[in-house]
Amino acid sequence: MASSAQKQASAARRAKNRARGQARTYPRVRARPIYSGSSCKITRRCLGRLLLLSPGVKAEELANFIGYCLAYAAALHGIEVHASVWMSNHHHTDVTDPHGNLVPFKQLLHSLIARGRNARLGRYDTFWSGDAACDTRRPTDDESLADLVYTLTNPVKDGLVKWGRLWPGFTTIDWRFGETRTFKRPDWLFDEGGEMPEEVSLTLVRPPIFPALDDEELYAKLMTQVRQREVEFQREFREKGRRFMGLRKLARQGWNQAPRSFEERFTVAPRWASSSKWLVLAQLQRDREWERQYAAARTLLLRGESAVFPAGTYWMRHFAGVAVAAQSP
C-alpha cells in the first residue's frame, strides 16, 4: 500500500505535469520524432508488473523464443541490436535505427512476444502495460556506454543473480560485438511450412560510440564497467544484509505473481537521460521546437493549406502522405 507521503507526492507530480502542459504556447503534440540513424534504449513492462517473462523451469525454451522473435523483427526492419536483457516482467533493449523503422520494429517484436507467451501460459488477456513508450536516448558516448552497462547488469541490480552472466533468461551479456547466434523456430507456436523461417540469426552490432576504439577494445571497456557495477551491487547487498534470489528460487517463480515493491506513478516517460541537466535541457528544447513546427504544420493542414511537417514525422508521412522536410545529415 502506498503511504500518505507517496500519495501526496503523486498528487503534486500530477499537478506539475498538468501545469507544464497548460503553459505550452501551441496545441498539444503527442507525436515523437523518429529519426533515421538514432540510437535508444527500449523499455517495456508487462501488465500489472506480472512475471509473465519469468524463465521458470523452461529457461532455454524461453531464451530461444525471445531470441527468435528479436532476430526476426530486427532483420525485417533493419534494426541494429547492441544489448538486450529480458527480465521476468520487463525488458531493456539498446538499438540503433538506421532506416527510421523503430515503430514497426517494436510493434512486431512486442506482438510476437505477447502472442507466444500467452499461448504458452494459457492466457487470453493483455500482455504489455499500457504505459507510455519509454525509448530513452543519451547525448554522450560515456553515458551511452553506461546505458549498456545498466541493461546488462539489470538482473544483478534487482537482486536476482550475483553475476549478470548467470541470468537464465535471454541476455546478450556474453556476446561479443560482431558475434552471430542462430535461433530455431518455436514449433509450439509457428506452423512448419508457414512464412516464419526455420532459423533466424542475430548479430550483435557495436553501438556508434567511441570511434577510436575497435570492437574488441570497446567490448573490453564495456565488460570492465559491467564487472565493476556488479561488484558494487554485491557490496551494497552485503551492507544491507540482503541476499540474491538465486537460480532455484527463480525456477519456482509463478507467472501470475508480481513484485511487492512500491512503484512510482504519474511520472513522465523520459526521452533523454543524462547526468548533466544542461545536456538534457538542450535536447528537450530541440524537441519542443520540433513540436512547435509539427503543431504549426498540422494547423495549416487542417485549414486546407500547404504544409510541410518537420523531419522525423512518422505517422503522418506513412499513413497520411503529408510532405516532410528532409533530415539534416
pLDDT score for 307: 93
Flag whether pLDDT at 8 surpasses 80. Answer: no
Mean pLDDT of the chain: 89
Q: How far, in Å, are 16, 68, 189, 190, 199 from residue 194 at the CA level?
A: 51, 15, 11, 7, 12
Q: Is the pLDDT of residue 274 over 70?
A: no
- Going by C-alpha positions, the residue among 48, 88, 67, 52 that lies closest to residue 247 is 88
Rounded to 5 degrees, φ, ψ at 61 are -65, -45
Contact status, residue 257 vs residue 51, Cβ threshold 8 Å = yes
Under 8 Å between Cβ of 83 and 165: no
Whether the Cβ atoms of residue 41 and residue 146 lie closer than 8 Å to each other: no
pLDDT of residue 329: 64
pLDDT at position 104 is: 96
- Structure confidence at residue 63 (pLDDT): 96
Q: Tell me the average pLDDT across 318-323.
A: 92
What are the start-end ranges of the H helices in the chain? Answer: 4-22, 59-77, 102-121, 141-152, 154-157, 215-240, 247-251, 277-302, 315-319
SS3 294: helix
| Average pLDDT, integer, range 111-127 | 94
What was the pLDDT predicted at 3? 67
pLDDT at 272 over 80: no
Pairing of strands 308-309, 323-324: parallel
Please tell me the predicted confidence (pLDDT) of residue 1.
52
Give the dihedral sign, CA 186/189/191/196: negative
Grid coordinates representing 123 are 492466457
Average pLDDT over residues 303-314: 93
Alpha carbon distance 91, 62 (integer Å): 13
| Of 196, 172, 203, nearest in space to 108 by CA | 196
pLDDT at res. 135: 84
pLDDT tier at 67, thresholds 50, 70, 90: very high
Name the nearest CA neighbour of 33 among 328, 322, 312, 315.
Answer: 312
Residue written as grid cell 510541410: 308
Give the model confidence (pLDDT) of 71-100 as tens digits: 999 999 999 999 999 999 999 999 999 999
